[in-house]
Amino acid sequence: MIIDLIEEFPSNAGAVNCLSIGHKSGKVLATGGEDKKVNLFAIGKTNCILSLRGHSTSVESLRFNGTENLVAAGSQGGVLKIWDLEASKVLRTLSGHKCNVRSLDFHPFGEIIASGSMDTNIKLWDFRRKGCIFTYKGHSGTINNLRFSPDGKWIASASDDNTARLWDMSTGRQIAEFPHNFSSVNTVEFHPIDFLLVTGGSDKTVKFWDLETLKMVDTTDGDCGPIRTVFVHPDGTCVYASCQDYLKVYGWEPTVCFDTVNVAWGRPGDIVVYQNELVGASFHQSNVSIFIADLQVSFIFSIRINFFF
């Protein structure tokens, strides 16, 4: 696989804390940082197309909804704002977390969003009407990542308490706890087709969990750095995992590494696959880098870097 660094640019006035790529189109990027702003960019261009101001503390998490007309932003102060991108204004401000909101995900169907915080709680919000409708308790560490299942019935969470957990939306109860070798779990992702959950942790491994038996079915060797993001290809054939210096492409049952690419990520923030193209975004200090790979062409251990300013 060849990965091109197509852009590197300053996105915020202060340090960047988080970013999100629109997964519907793979063409829009949101960044948030210490300057308390959410800035939007069209991937392929370095000029900010929209800057959203209104947070009173730094922005620590971001997530687009499925149609990319809304973006959610979580702040250091525990406040969550839903931004209407067409109207360029706040649709809803949601308060309830005691401190930093570190992870967000929109429900795939309803007007629901989940948030995870350093206060160890996961909150479910009806952002059109009711505010907080449920709080999931059980983790003992920061919630680093959240994902709804494709059918919208479950929530998976990744935490600094060395576990990933599975929650039932209808009952509000924990279904399962998945341990991760005495290290933080940084990222979690559902398989788009099969009953499979993928987790990545600071133990440098990617683990695969069967959601019927609730048992681990596979794990990688941990031969790179701490795993920051995982993304399952939309056709379900492989998993992309990013760490500080590499992008790894894995299969499972049995575990196989299809490709390893040396990439100067900085801190990987998000990965998406759209129309046979992998788009990745990372950040370092006030700069954001955009990487693109043509998935129709595969070369192992290769990277070509082109700078555009």
**In angstroms, rounded to a whole number, what is the distance separating the alpha carbons of residues 107 and 65?**
8
Question: Which residue blocks in 98-167 are alpha helix, DSSP H?
Answer: none
The pLDDT score that the predictor gives to residue 309 is 29
pLDDT along the chain (309 residues), means of 10: 92 97 97 98 96 97 98 98 97 96 96 98 93 96 98 98 97 96 95 98 97 97 92 96 93 93 91 94 96 74 33
179 CB neighbour count, 10 Å cutoff: 14
- Which class does domain 16-233 fall in? mainly beta
Would you call 1 helix, strand, or coil by DSSP? coil
Per domain, the residue ranges of the chain are: 16-233
- Cβ partners under 8 Å of residue 271, min gap 6: 21, 229, 231, 240, 242, 278, 279, 280, 281
User: pTM for this one?
Assistant: 0.93
The pLDDT score that the predictor gives to residue 48 is 97
Instruction: Look up residue 125 and give its amino acid.
Output: W
Look at residues 92, 89, 84, 124 and name the one whose alpha carbon lies nearest to residue 106.
124
DSSP string, 208-270: EEETTTTEEEEE----SS---EEEE-TTSS-EEEE-SSEEEEEETTTTEEEEEEE---SEEEE
**In angstroms, rounded to a whole number, what is the distance separating the alpha carbons of residues 19 and 29?**
7
**In angstroms, rounded to a whole number, what is the distance separating the alpha carbons of residues 36 and 48?**
15
Look at residues 168, 188, 177 and name the one whose alpha carbon lies nearest to residue 232.
188
Instruction: Look up residue 296 and give its amino acid.
Output: Q
Q: Measured at the alpha carbon of residue 104, what is the angle toward residues 180 and 38, in degrees to the nearest 5?
A: 130
